[in-house]
Amino acid sequence: MLFKQQALLRQKLFVLGSLAIGSLLYLVARVGSLDRLQPLCPIDGRFGPRSQDEIPLRALQFKRGLLHEFRKGNATKEQIRLHNLVQQLPKAIIIGVRKGGTRALLEMLNLHPAVVKASQEIHFFDNDENYAKGIEWYRKKMPFSYPHQITIEKSPAYFITEEVPERIYKMNSSIKLLIIVREPTTRAISDYTQVLEGKERKNKTYYKFEKLAIDPNTCEVNTKYKAVRTSIYTKHLERWLKYFPIEQFHIVDGDRLITEPLTELQLVEKFLNLPPRISQYNLYFNATRGFYCLRFNIVFNKCLAGSKGRIHPEVDTSVITKLRKFFHPFNQKFYQITGRTFNWP
Ligand code: A3P
């Protein structure tokens, strides 16, 4: 009899314990996802007001739903206004470099509760047709956010397009500019790989990288080839420096963002005057992908699309050596201007 009662008690305790653990896990998951919308970390300095009134969790839940509904076209503008959601011009832009890791950088920064990303590349400043539509058109392309948050967009074509520095300067002369670079030869091959894949998808043939990168008449590096020109970072940066002081740029090491993302992200947080909120918890290595992936909370995580991290074709070593020799003096100048040295050959 006593034994039966003890067993019953144990059973009850087990059920109660399971319920408690279940509720705790649910709460952690909810709070984790709400974290992104909470004013946990007001931003210092010129990014706006330091603090905002605390928003109760239930209101946040509602706001989150509202934001989603609005995107689907189901909520009224009046509701958005009442809840203080705004479409803000970016306070920072990832201007390039194409294939440097721009998507990974944007997605990883978006882990920060005070950052809201523009998911699509807007191509406002590099595309004349878009630019002619005016700044309000650009602002309307931005995601909804709370006033204390900052919006970041990325369009890697900005870095290499002649007209862009002046146009961005006219919008906001104190904007923060992020440039993510990779070892120039690897970046050029990555650039080629993307174009090659596009051609293959359309069943078209394409030249070998070696043929494009080396001028067959002179046997020298072909500076007319776009993938080569884009990797001459210093040439492009010098154009930007006619409008913005070097302090307004932050250079991200794209090779290190692959192997040690947190170190790079912490430097960006500092540059953007954001309180450090991205932690190792938010980044986990996925052996199948061979890259770090993103963890927002215990229920939501994601890796970048398969188009990021393509296998590069094998390139003749003599061509690689020639390219590295070609980029060397430009790299030295780039280190000198930016004050950031890389271990590029
Ligand atoms: P590869 O495809 O050559 O490997 P971008 O977003 O500017 O187009 O850059 C693409 C590059 O981002 C990829 O180039 C990949 O190496 C790099 N990258 C950096 N971090 C990554 C991550 N966590 N997941 C996938 N790709 C990442």
Sequential DSSP letters for 44-65 = PGGGS-S------HHHHHHHHH
Tokens of 273: 């005057």
Which segments are annotated as binding site for 3'-phosphoadenylyl sulfate? 99-103, 182, 190, 292, 308-312
Give the pLDDT score at 14: 62
Q: How far apart are CA 342 and CA 227, in angstroms?
A: 20
Ligand 1 atom at minimum distance from 307 CA = 2
Q: How confident is the model at residue 82 (pLDDT cuts 50, 70, 90)?
A: confident
Range of the domain at 287: 68-184+230-306
Q: What is the CATH number of the domain that holds 141?
A: 3.40.50.300
Residue 130 domain-assigned (yes or no):
yes
- pLDDT greater at residue 270 or residue 65: 270
Question: 90 with 175: CB under 8 angstroms?
Answer: yes
Cβ–ligand 1 contact at 309 (below 6 Å): yes
- Of 229, 260, 258, 104, the closest CA to residue 178 belongs to 104
The protein residue with its alpha carbon nearest to ligand 1, atom 18, reads 101
Query: What global pTM score does this model have?
Result: 0.83
> Mind telling me the catalytic residues?
99
3-state helix, strand, coil in the chain (%, to 5): 50, 10, 40
Give CA–CA dist 61/298, Å, rounded. 18
Quote the number of domains for the chain. 1
Q: Which amino acid is at 184?
A: P
* Residue 62 within a domain: no
**Model confidence over 117-165: pLDDT tens digits?**
999 999 999 999 999 999 999 999 999 999 999 999 999 999 999 999 9
178 contacts: CB under 8 Å, gap ≥ 6:
92, 93, 94, 95, 105, 152, 249, 250, 252, 268, 271
Rounded to the nearest angstrom, the distance between the alpha carbon of 254 and the centre of ligand 1 is 8
The reply to whether 49 falls in a domain is no
25 is a domain residue = no
pLDDT band with cut points at 50, 70 and 90 for residue 53: very low
Distances from the Cα of 181 to the Cα of 174, 235, 333, 342, angstroms = 22, 14, 14, 10
Q: Is 4 contained in some domain?
A: no
Question: Does 198 reside within a domain?
Answer: no
For residue 310 and ligand 1, the question of a CB distance below 6 A is answered with yes
What value does the mean pLDDT of the chain take? 85
At residue 148, φ and ψ (nearest 5 deg) are -80, -10
Q: 104 or 14, which is more confident?
A: 104
With respect to residue 131, please indicate whether it lies within any of the assigned structural domains: yes
Is residue 113 one of the residues assigned to a domain? yes
What was the pLDDT predicted at 24? 52
Q: Look at 7-21, 146-160, 288-302 and tell me which has the smallest mean pLDDT.
A: 7-21
Model pLDDT for residues 213-222, shown as the tens digit of each residue = 999 999 999 9
